[in-house]
Amino acid sequence: MLQRLAEYTSKVDRACLPHPEWLNVSLYGMFRAHQFLAGRHHGAACTDLHCVEYGLRVIDAAMFLMEAFPQEEDFASIFRFAPEWFGEERRLLEDDLATYQEDVALRSHTYAARVNGLSEPVIGIWLDHPRSLFFRVWGWNDPNAPNGRGYPFLAIDFSTPGKNRYVIGVSPESGTNVNGLGQLLERHEADKRERLGKQRPIHPIRYPADNSDSWYFGQGHNYALVDSPGQGTILSAEEVQKIHEEWQP
């Protein structure tokens, strides 16, 4: 039982969520929703201990159901056996899907660019400060995407005042990656900083780059994503998208 829990947790940790279409009856979905509601309930007084306590409550419930239904292979849809449990969490997940759909309608646009593993450019989606909690899961499995099977890549604008941050990524389960895009963005970052005289400290060097605050190339995530420098990028959203559009892996 614990081995199956460990295997499921490992998949979730690598963003390889089994059967994302069952999010509202999965251990991961219920866990995240329960913790979110705990944070909302306790507000600023919410501690790490509260989060652990609420998380263990969901895990205990899932383990109980796994013992009651031993034919179940993993935790991807375990809560379908107890439809009366965690009603508020289920509603939160249903509402979050509606929020994602609103994000797409009001705070997004699509564009064509390449990812490694596909021979032609594909249509991905740029989300501008999405309000959905699970936008990655919804986006990678969106039946309304051009191919009907989710967007091949997501580009997210997480910028805050005074700090530009953009993340571009593919689903870890897709067999594709963006290896090389981070390095290209870093070269554009360095060139623009050189022109504007806004250099970054060199040490301590953030390998494999040559300075202390480079773009993240994705090496710790099998190159499934690239992310802006920790202190923010000097590149604009338009520049980042254009660089991706013109990228030739």
Which of 96, 131, 149 is where one domain is finished?
Answer: 96
Q: Is residue 49 part of a domain?
A: yes
- Give the pLDDT confidence score for residue 242 in this predicted structure: 98
Q: 101 lies in a domain?
A: no
Q: Are residues 7 and 129 in the same domain?
A: no
Instruction: Note whether 133 and 183 are same-domain residues.
Output: yes
What does the pLDDT look like over 171-192, one tens digit per residue? 987 899 999 999 999 999 999 9
Q: Which of 96, 117, 147 is the last residue of a domain?
A: 96
The DSSP bridge partners found for residue 124 are: 111
126: tokens are: 């740029």
Q: Using a pLDDT cut of 90, give the percent of the chain over it.
A: 69
Extract the tokens encoding 41: 């309930």
189 domain residue, yes or no: yes
pLDDT digits (tens, 9 = 90+) for 37-88: 888 888 888 888 888 888 899 999 999 999 999 988 889 999 999 999 999 9
Query: In this model, does residue 112 exceed pLDDT 90?
Result: yes
Q: Which of 61, 96, 131 is the last residue of a domain?
A: 96
pLDDT in tens, 2-28: 898 999 888 887 667 788 788 889 999
pLDDT value, residue 182: 97
pLDDT surpasses 90 at 231: yes
Distance CA 166, CA 229 (A): 9
Q: What's the pLDDT score for residue 51?
A: 81
Neighbour-count burial of 44, counting CB atoms closer than 10 A to its CB (0-12 exposed, 13-18 middle, 19+ buried): exposed
Residue 53 in any domain: the answer is: yes
> Would you say residue 169 has pLDDT above 80?
yes
Q: Are residues 119 and 233 located together in one domain of the fold?
A: yes
**Structural domains counted in the chain:** 2
Going by pLDDT thresholds of 50, 70 and 90, the confidence category of residue 136 is very high
What's the domain range around 206? 107-246
In a domain, 72, yes or no: yes
Q: Are residues 85 and 152 in the same domain?
A: no
Q: How far is CA 78 from the centre of its chain?
A: 23
CA–CA distance, 197 with 125 (Å, rounded to integer): 33
* Same-domain status, 202 and 237: yes
